[in-house]
Amino acid sequence: MPDPKPVAAAVTVYTRHSHADIIVGKVLEGPLHDGKNLYQLKLASLYVDQFPTGDLSRDLAKKHGFRLCSSIDEALTLGGDKLAVEGVLCVGEHGKYPENEKGQIQYPRRKFFEEVTKTFVRTKKVVPVFNDKHLSAAWDDARWMCDRARELMIPFLAGSTIPLTWRKPDLTLPKGCELTDAVALGYGPFEGYGFHMLEGLQCMVERRKGGETGVKAVTALTGDAMWQACDRGDFSKALLEETIHRAPAYAKGDYRELTRKTKDAGVWLIEYRDGFKAAAAMLNGFLYEGDGGAFCFAGQIKGEDKPRSCLFYLQQPDPFAHFGELVKAIEKLITTGHPPYPVERTLLTTGILDAIMTSRHAGGKRVETPQLNIAYQPTDWPHATGPIPKVIKR
């Protein structure tokens, strides 16, 4: 086996079950955190932005021998004048950061990426970079990150675990299929988990005939407006109920009544530039986390009697094996220098989410999105299959 590639990580916090723990921790200790089946990556250095109670980074640095750094530049150069790593992981999730007026958490994702690129420019060398979850709360920052990566020719990957995890039942839509309608289902914090719901939707609908063309407009509906839109046929009640059928846990009672007055419940209408329409339903108050989470998809292909649907299975708690699938993609990025799937997917979902938050803040106003003229073709990077690892104790 070749020697593992040295990587640097920049994280907001490193506490148990933070994203740093279940991403960077797998680089350190393997997918089951037992020191076995290690990835072809080795953590050389770590920058941590905040040190709350329960911080693990100091003890892990002593245990594993990586360098704990006071800046991102130091993490990438190990204090020298040259780039000293072959990949960078930016994990801007968890920690105490302010929210803006729209309810978006201001994680320092652009700041992390900007510091990384400053070091690349100074050392006159670039290496692949991974950014966890959506690129930024703000569209302008997300667009800047992708433009800067393209300008410097940085192999760039980002996104959620949802497209990579097990699907129950196993489902991959045929590339180029004539998809006529689609609905995604989700739960949890409106922005933080709404992004996961969008990535689950997008990894499916991008496979429609012609590939992805971008998004024309979005509308975030709440309260009675959700179900008035359903009755008008603005989105498919049949596909919504198909996704609910796939969810492992939900409350007894009428989902309309249970979501009408629930905080952070909503239905998002998404109008694509090629005329395709989809919806994403955040049914808090009715839907809750069961075995495997509760992110689901249903889509109707032209000429088929029944919709195609699945649950995106989340293995939890430890070892959070779906994050192991994400680290496989990061490993591919860094060992080959090529992203296994397009960052444009996450740029698009980032922009959709920002527009959704704007629509909700404006009371459900339809928001046109000319900036989301983002076209790309899907790849066939595989999602997880086979047995799901058993729960372990750490």
CATH number reported for the structural domain that contains residue 76 in this entry: 3.40.50.720
Pick the last residue of a domain from 313, 328, 358.
313
φ/ψ of residue 164, rounded to 5? -100, -15
Same structural domain, 22 and 150: yes
pLDDT of the residue at 248: 95
pLDDT, residue 337, reads 98
Are residues 12 and 137 located together in one domain of the fold? yes
Same domain, yes or no: 119 and 231? no
**347 domain residue, yes or no:** no
pLDDT at position 339: 98
3-state secondary structure of 192: coil
**pLDDT-flagged residues of the chain (< 70):** none
Per-residue confidence (pLDDT) for residue 274, from 0 to 100: 98
Total number of domains constituting the chain? 2
Do 124 and 187 sit in the same domain of this protein?
Answer: no
Listed residues 313, 335, 366: the one ending a domain:
313
How far, in Å, CA of 215 to CA of 368, rounded? Answer: 9
| Residue 17 within any structural domain of the chain | yes
Do residue 153 and residue 170 come from a single domain? no
Q: Is residue 246 part of a domain?
A: yes
Predicted confidence at residue 2, as pLDDT, reads: 85
Task: Identify whether residues 48 and 126 lie together within a single domain.
Answer: yes
Cβ–Cβ < 8 Å for 106, 97: yes
67: domain range? 5-159
247 and 307 share a domain? yes
In this prediction, residue 131 carries a pLDDT of 98
Instruction: Quote the CA–CA distance of 128 and 126 in Å, as a whole number.
Output: 7
Shared domain for 37 and 131, answered yes or no, is yes
- The answer to whether residue 262 sits within a structural domain is yes
DSSP secondary structure of 262-325: -TT-EEEEEEETTS-EEEEEE-BTTB--BTTBSEEEEEEETT-SS-EEEEEE---STT-HHHHH
Is residue 95 included in any domain, yes or no? yes
pLDDT at 92: 98
In this structure, are 169 and 154 located in the same domain?
no
CA distance 194 to 349: 10
Q: What per-residue confidence (pLDDT) applies to 348? A: 98
